[in-house]
Structure 1
Amino acid sequence: MTVMSVITLCGGIGLFLYGMKLLSSSLERIAGAGLEKTLEKLTSNRLKGVALGAVVTAAIQSSAATAIMAVGFVNAGIMKLVQAVPVILGANIGTTVTGQILRLGDISNDNIFLMLLKPASFAPLCIAVGATILLMSKKKRTKDIASILIGFGILFVGMTTMESTLAPLKDSESFQRIFFLFKNPLLGVAVGALITAILQSSSASVGVLQAISSTGTVTFSMAAPIIMGQNIGKCVTVLIASIGTSKKAKRAVYIDLIVNMLGAAFFLVVVYGYQALVGFPFWDNVVNRGNIADFHSLFNIVTCILVFPFTNQLIKFSRRLVKDGEASKIEEGLAALNDIFLNTPSVALEQCKKAILSMGETVQENFEIAVGLFEKYDEKKVQKLEENEKFLDRTESVMVEYLLKITAKDISIPDSRLATEIMHSVSDFEKIGDYCGHLAEEAERHSEQNVTFSADGQREFTYAAEAVRAIIGMTVQAYAEENAVIAARVEPLEETVDLMEETLKNKHIERLQSGTCSTKSGISFVEVLNAMDRIASHCANIALHLTQRLSSDSFDAHAHLRNSHDGVPDEYKALCHYYESQYLEPIK
């Protein structure tokens, strides 16, 4: 080969890999978070899990992406290990679809209609149509569809370029001698694994082998061990992605590796054993793209069938490899925010929402602890509150950094809107946690300085706490259910809490003037009211941003607040009256 031939070959490989990446990433964006919801819902049955893994992989053209998602869900606690294993097995089957598509290059030129299915014919058309749509369309989804067409076309242009560059090698004795070495099964497996590990894709590695087969020098005995090794090599991508994940997630990765190693071992014994005893008539026959695609499919389907009944045994073995250990609340809570999801931004954002819900549940717990401390101060409960506060602080810090990584990618408009809302909400939940801490500090002061509220003050404190408890619960529920109706009820309750703060401060001043309340308890009472009012305000912020995301692009937050406070909507006025009757009227 000349220097220019090598450069052209490298260019062809580059086009092929870029086309596959563009195709896969565009398909993932279109599928979006629906992939996650589908995986979560349909993996209770193992057979469904295998089918789902195959379908998702065929749809997004990446077994590594599917396996990484499954590992990520195990890491986040969304999916159990026993659910993830069938998905990974199915992903191994789904990845063979790419090779079956690439075999279209073997179609005969005899028939004009069949000839149109050849990559050389439709690849330029795909690129032309995709580029036209991409340049003319302004809609994100339409552009993603255009990117799929362009990626598909570039993939086949790269394939054709590789084939045309490699064609002269069919007469090269050196090239034939090199490939003859791959008749050694162990060497073939090692080379297949190495190339796939470098390319980070078994589909790409199989595609390159299919391109080389166009030279007419690759026989079945050479291709078979390479294909076996390719399935082992693709596990490297998932292994790299699993760095920093939980022990359960690492088990899923090791199971994927073990499955492919067992499959390779089984095929080596059966294929080479049969060849030694009986002999395959096609052993030294030259293979084409279709033959390679078929053996790749056969390997993964048979491996899945053989391993599927022993899923539980694989899980037990993985537990021996990776033993259990204790994880802190912070580690468990942040497991969802793993870089493993970043290649699928919509899924990564769904994980952020789950982490925020953990924050919401934590602030609910901290508020209950803080309020309870005024009745009975307990150091153990204070320690729990402080542990929760560390979790909230750490989650906010990690979440902001994680969101910056997500928004640095090419994400859709809905995902961009979601990222903005999450950025605001995580800050508000963290501040609610801070004010729960302020309440706990006031309770500590009561305990140390023997401060108590007056009878009226205690009664007012109870009603104020009930109102704030309700608004926190309502906010968390609205966020969990993504319910705009529930979110709309938060602002009227926040306004009621504002009125309560103003009313109770005035009543408190009267008690101070009359001498029925001490100065120490008076200062503490005002601090408590301020903290509760700020908690309610941050709940209203969260509800507002949630409503903004769930509404249309034309949503105007300032107009929403203006209309709310002007009392225009009758429903808003009715809710305000209801909350006032519940929490304010009894203590006026």
Structure 2
Amino acid sequence: MSIISRGFAGLGSDAAHTMFAFAAHPWVGLSVGILGTVLIQSSTTTTAIAVTAVGSGALPIEGAIPIILGANVGTTVTTSLVALTFIGDRTEFRRALGASTVHDFYNWLALLIFFPIELLWYPLKHISGTLTDALYDTDWLPNPAHFNFIRAATRPVEHGVIQLTSHVSSALGPLFTILIGALLILVAVRYLGTLLKLLMVGRARDILIKAVGRNAYLAMASGMGVTVVTQSSTITTSVLVPFAGTGILTPAQVHPVVVGSNLGTTFTVVFAAFAGVGQDAKIGLQAAFVHLIYNLFAIITIYVIPFLRPVPLFCAERLARVAAEHRWVLAVYLGTVFIALPALVIVLVGVV
């Protein structure tokens, strides 16, 4: 993230703002978040890049919020693809798809509720700003900048990349710096997720299986904890799909784990945001807090309130029943909702 920030600074304020001008429209930003996350298969990477752009002053906080909300939706497509491994057996496929798409519909419902509210009254912007001010401007809380061990640990790598790109032309050097930083985030998230999956997924799986059958809120806490450890909500939810496909778990039991994993994935970006430096680093941390607060609100509104809790489960099981009978329905659903519609919005709204 520090490397990307240096790249944006090297572009100059006018060039950096021009790069993100296409995402200034909230619907375009939302679509960029969805499509970008589908393509790179990491909501953490998409959110981290948006937070870094805000922290470097290249993107206003209002422009980052739709991207962050879109990334929250785009990450769900991976779990749905895991269900395809059961497509040979209609019953197992229905069970697996019902469990995997709970994540889809939970995040779509959260987006449907909070995106219009944010466009009208900006509660995520205001609350995250208040929280950020509390961390930086009060005496009873330590200033995060005073404990920035992340910055100290990554500085040698940052300096090495800057020296490498300094040999490129002044126009292309900052762009290469941004590209290298983005690739390093993607590689780090991928490698960390793979490594922790090898080391922890068996243990985490046992914890989840025990917790899921006992108490919904314990299952939620387990989903959050495993996601914090593995740095990936996809790992947490994907692990459960085979158990749902074979009938060991039900979609209703998977539901609270999905809710917890959504919250767990937000801590990665908040943690990384403390590495930000410069006059806009504070607002970059605010963008990271947006992701955390959004998922907290979603839990309270959708899961804690009994009225809305069954909605994602009902939609997921309904789609699973239809797709089990007509396999092409899943392809149409994934291709339309996660690729075609966001791309169409970017083209149409971006041109206008």
TM-score (norm 2): 0.48
Larger Rg: 1
Q: Which has the higher contact order (CA 8 A, sep 6+)?
A: 2
TM-score (norm 1): 0.30
